[in-house]
Chains A and B, each alone.
Chain A
Amino acid sequence: MAKHLRKIIQAGWGLLSNAYVRGFLPGQPFIYSGALKHFCVPGMNCYSCPGALGACPVGALQAVLAGRQRKFPAYVLGYLAAVGLLAGRFICGWLCLFGLIQELLYKIPLPKITIPERVDRPLRYLKYAVLLVLVVGLPLLYRSEYGAGDPFFCKYLCPVGTLEAGVPLVLMNDMLRPALGWLFRWKMLLLIVCILASILIYRPFCKYICPLGAFYSLFRKMSLVRMHVDTDACINCGACSKICGMRVDPHLAPNSAECIRCGECMRVCPVNALSFARAAGKQEKAAVH
């Protein structure tokens, strides 16, 4: 049960945040338009998904930055900072539907690729560039002749919107199909690449592209949910490093920027040296044991 607890929570959260069943009925393109859409969900979840009950925080951030009024995105940034300070990348490991999809794809029994460290390490910084350039910089700076900006990340890169919104909306609604052009084909290509990469590499989007993971990783050392290693108990067996799909060495860097707090390392630790800790000296044994 403990082994599957995270999957159950990931799937449950994914279903709960996309529980607007009416949106999946064929006919007119229709998405949820109730009051819950005022609020962002903590993980990547396209607000144009027919079932989405909340707003995508990355989309919301770009929408405010790209707005004609050039507002400072206090609400979205405050929300993201609060979530980051509470849980950090725990969200990536436990409350992100797209993370779960990638994990399930990785279970397909095909040979897996290990990216050489000299390539993997610099590629990890790509997500910070995506955050700075596509999510913040260009939506803030670019304006069309009509004075409106563009959500560059959503428009040109995000495979989540293509998978959760583009594909179902286009499949269910004939009237959208004549509007498909190069942009849709480009985004489909990116989605296919992402899906194929996810079969071969563990959570490649999270490792290299996701701007939300990049933002939450900034809070890795200050979030209330953080990892703690009991150095007295640790026997340096390496079991935690071996099981980690994100290629973190939890016993050496328990609060690495790449750690998604999935808890797999805690589950396999033979001496229970790893735990979720609220803060120094106040470690609490995690529920995954």
Chain B
Amino acid sequence: MNREFPEKLTVILLLAAVCLCIFGAATGEMEDVFIKAVNICMECIGLG
């Protein structure tokens, strides 16, 4: 029996993921991402 994952549950999980995202943004995590992303990442380019 190969039952498919219910779409309603996906939507509930999606809402939970969005809430998690908003919580993270509210606690200042977006600023952490921003600071990392606007400075040249020396590790990424192989210098640091």
Contacts and interface: CB of A to CB of B under 8 A. Distances in A.
Contacts of A26: none
B7 A279 contact: yes
Interface in A95-153: 150-151
A184 B46 contact: yes
Interface residues of A, number: 63
Interface string B16-48: 111111111101011111101110110111111
Interface stretch (A206-214, A218-226, A242-250): A218-226
Main DSSP-derived SS at the B contact region = helix
A47 B36 contact: yes
Interface of B: 3-7, 9-10, 13-14, 16-25, 27, 29-34, 36-38, 40-41, 43-48
B17 A71 contact: no
B46 A186 contact: yes
Contacts of A72: 24
B4 A280 contact: yes
A32 B38 contact: yes
A73 B24 contact: yes
Contacts of A176: 45, 47
23 contacts: A37-B37, A37-B38, A39-B30, A55-B34, A71-B32, A73-B24, A76-B24, A77-B20, A79-B21, A82-B21, A155-B43, A161-B43, A161-B46, A165-B41, A176-B47, A179-B47, A180-B47, A184-B47, A222-B5, A224-B7, A226-B4, A279-B4, A280-B3
